[in-house]
Amino acid sequence: MPQPRKQFAQHWLRSEKALSKILAAAQLQKTDVDGIPGDRVLEIGPGTGILTRQLLTQADAVVAVEIDRDLCVSLTKKLGKNENFLLLQGDFLTLDLSELLAPFPNFQNPNKVVANIPYNITGPILEKLLGTIAHPAETPFDLIVLLVQKEVALRLVAKPGSSHAGALSIRIQYLAECEFICDVPAQAFQPPPKVDSAVVRLRPRPFELTATDPRRLEQLIKLGFSSKRKMLRNNLQSLIDRDHLIQLLETQGINPQVRAEDLSVKQWVELSNQF
Ligand code: SAH
């Protein structure tokens, strides 16, 4: 095992159980005898290749993006013979995937993401994969299965009223269906991270109610959650007159004393659309 590098948030997964849960959640297919096309997977941060090796047996093609040059050398030695494997060395956040994949027809437009990602860049990775409310990803993935910090997983799947509900919950749930798959204890990694982890599955889709002014919705969510203990009407004071907001909430059948974490995604969109 290579010495893990802190700057790249390297923690090697070593639990077979966690590995099989991730793979099961990804529901991978190879092209079958009837020609029904299989999956092309994008993996971010393959590390030592423990997950990559399994992905290669279960999917048509795997594109992996790894920032660490030394790891790329050993991954190429270990897995380079697989014709369905393409390794890109670089920073996932800054590289232009579709441009890099242009010369490789078999690897273009991956339809699923399966990865044990570096936790220090979880937010930016989610944004690159899903886009934002105002600019959703143009060609969304069918399915995204990620191993993330448990605290983040709980925020991604938080229902209204949950203590984990926050701006991230609303922004991501507007863009994708979010499911909690399973807990993964810190001991499942070498070295164990300071936090527990969890597997989540995201299914990008257009939200049931479209925001007529997505920028306004983003602004509302940001301000609405700016001070967690306060009532929504106080957090939104700079944007909308208090009495007017109370009136809007009441026409939506919402208690005017509501806090940001109590509103559902649909209620956020409705509120934004009424402005
Ligand atoms: N998937 C492996 C490794 C997870 S650790 C396993 O489960 O064991 C996170 C991995 O992401 C490391 O290999 C690290 O080098 C890589 N990484 C960190 N920052 C990255 C970035 N910006 N772009 C691509 N890979 C990155």
- pLDDT tens readout for residues 154-174: 999 999 999 999 999 999 999
Phi, psi dihedrals of residue 186, rounded to the nearest 5°:
-55, -30
CB atoms within 10 A of CB 99: 8
Q: Does ligand 1 lie within 6 Å of residue 45's CB atom? A: yes
Q: Does ligand 1 lie within 6 Å of residue 44's CB atom? A: yes
pLDDT in tens, the chain (275 residues): 788 898 999 999 999 999 999 999 999 999 998 889 999 999 999 999 999 999 999 999 999 999 999 999 999 999 999 999 999 999 999 999 999 999 999 999 999 999 999 999 999 999 999 999 999 999 899 999 999 999 999 999 999 999 999 999 999 999 999 999 999 999 999 999 999 999 999 999 999 999 999 999 999 999 999 987 899 999 999 999 989 999 999 999 999 999 999 999 999 999 999 98
Counting ligand 1 atoms within 8 A of each CB, the residue from 7, 13, 44, 48 with the most, and so the one to mutate, is: 44
CA neighbor of 187 nearest in space, from 1, 15, 62: 15
Q: Which atom of ligand 1 is nearest to the CA of 8?
A: 18
* Alpha carbon of 92 to ligand 1 centroid (Å): 10
* Alpha carbon of 29 to ligand 1 centroid (Å): 24
**For atom 21 of ligand 1, which residue has the closest CA?**
91
Q: Which residues, 6 or more positions from 189, have their beta carbon under 8 angstroms from its beta carbon?
A: 11, 12, 13, 14, 15, 197
- The dihedral through the CA atoms of 32, 35, 36, 40 has a sign that is positive
> CA 39, CA 57: separation in Å to the nearest integer?
11
Domain annotation for the chain: domains and CATH numbers: 6-204 (3.40.50.150), 214-274 (1.10.8.100)
Give 3-state DSSP helix, strand, coil % of the chain, rounded to 5.
40, 20, 40
CA neighbor of 201 nearest in space, from 178, 174, 182, 184: 178
Q: Specify the pTM.
A: 0.96
- Per DSSP, which regions of the chain are E strands? 12-13, 40-44, 61-66, 85-89, 112-116, 143-149, 176-184, 189-190, 197-204
Q: Does ligand 1 lie within 6 Å of residue 49's CB atom? A: no
Q: Does ligand 1 lie within 6 Å of residue 13's CB atom? A: yes
